[in-house]
């Protein structure tokens, strides 16, 4: 709807002045942008590979959250303040990437925005450690703020990635002792992270390593 506005000035000397006409367009009120802004914690356990950020597993429970905007003026855009903690796609689906806190913001076509805070607590990062003896890999893990996983943890990691494992085909040290060896050279379980095979290896031999943190 358009409204024309003008005014008339009647001066004491009898002079009448008429202003120009100003056309004002009256716009219908836009509905408010709606988004659930309550803070949320995603605490589901999942192993992720920061060295291969686009290689993702099927996310388990409590590692993703769908919150979609409504109202306002479509289309909507979504953004994360820290994609290394939580990433959000164009549909408003947030998925975990690392421990920490991020702010997810939804913005409509008119620039109105609302946001919520997501805290991630259950992500475990897998870090490549190269190859070496058990003691060398253990040292490499410590230098990276990580540790060698148990054989059960390697089983869980392999279940997520299978033959998509990107760090090299071969056996990986676990921290699980298979049997005590003579002279302190223990036997450890190792796992082929591509084929899933489980084996035993003496600690002074060389094998690949992955650390978790």
Does residue 15 sit within a domain?
A: no
Does residue 21 sit within a domain?
A: no
- Cα of first residue to Cα of last residue in the chain, in angstroms, is 62
95 with 108, same domain? Answer: yes
Model pTM?
A: 0.85
Range of the domain at 165: 124-212
| Predicted local confidence at residue 18, as pLDDT | 78
Task: Give the Cα separation of 145 and 142 in Å (integer).
Answer: 5
Computed over every residue of the chain, the mean pLDDT equals 95
Chain segment 92-119, per-residue pLDDT in tens: 999 999 999 999 999 999 999 999 999 9
pLDDT over 80 at 19, yes or no:
no
Q: Residue range 15-31: average pLDDT? A: 77
Does residue 178 sit within a domain?
A: yes
Does residue 161 sit within a domain?
A: yes
Counting residues of the chain whose pLDDT is more than 70, the rounded percentage is 99
Does residue 81 sit within a domain?
A: yes
pLDDT over 80 at 87, yes or no:
yes
44 with 105, same domain? Answer: yes
Task: Give the Cα separation of 138 and 26 in Å (integer).
Answer: 71
| Predicted local confidence at residue 23, as pLDDT | 78
Among the candidates 76, 106, 121, a domain finishes at 121
Is residue 10 very low, low, confident or very high in pLDDT (cuts 50, 70, 90)?
A: confident
pLDDT over 90 at 121, yes or no:
yes
Range 5-29 burial, b when 16+ CB lie within 10 A, else e: eeeeeeeeeeeeeeeeeeeeeeeee
Among the candidates 121, 146, 180, a domain finishes at 121
What is the count of structural domains for the chain?
Answer: 2
Does residue 89 sit within a domain?
A: yes
CATH assignment of the domain containing 81: 2.60.40.1080
pLDDT over 80 at 14, yes or no:
no
Is residue 7 very low, low, confident or very high in pLDDT (cuts 50, 70, 90)?
A: confident
Does residue 142 sit within a domain?
A: yes
| Predicted local confidence at residue 181, as pLDDT | 78
Task: Give the Cα separation of 199 and 111 in Å (integer).
Answer: 58
100 with 152, same domain? Answer: no
| Predicted local confidence at residue 179, as pLDDT | 95
Among the candidates 121, 144, 173, a domain finishes at 121
CATH assignment of the domain containing 204: 3.10.100.10
Lowest mean pLDDT among 1-5, 154-158, 186-190, 198-202: 1-5
206 with 130, same domain? Answer: yes
Does residue 29 sit within a domain?
A: no
């Amino acid at each position: 709807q358009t409204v024309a506005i003008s005014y008339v000035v009647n001066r004491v000397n009898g002079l009448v002045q008429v202003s120009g006409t100003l056309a004002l367009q009256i716009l219908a009120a836009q509905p408010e942008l709606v988004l659930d802004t309550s803070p949320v914690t995603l605490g589901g356990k999942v192993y992720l590979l920061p060295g291969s950020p686009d290689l993702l597993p099927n996310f388990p429970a409590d590692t993703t959250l769908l919150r979609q905007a409504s109202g306002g003026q479509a289309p909507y855009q979504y953004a994360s303040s820290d994609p290394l903690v939580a990433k959000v796609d164009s549909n408003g689906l947030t998925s975990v990437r690392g421990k920490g806190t991020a702010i997810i913001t939804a913005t409509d076509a008119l620039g109105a925005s609302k946001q919520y805070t997501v805290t991630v607590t259950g992500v475990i990062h897998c870090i490549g450690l190269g190859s070496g003896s058990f003691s060398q890999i253990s040292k490499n893990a410590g230098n990276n703020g990580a540790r060698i996983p148990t054989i059960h943890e390697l089983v869980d990691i392999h279940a997520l990635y299978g033959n998509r494992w990107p760090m090299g085909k071969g056996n990986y040290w676990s921290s699980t002792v298979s049997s005590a060896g003579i002279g302190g050279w223990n036997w450890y379980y190792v796992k082929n992270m591509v084929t899933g095979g489980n084996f035993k290896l003496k600690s002074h031999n060389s094998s690949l390593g992955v650390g978790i943190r």
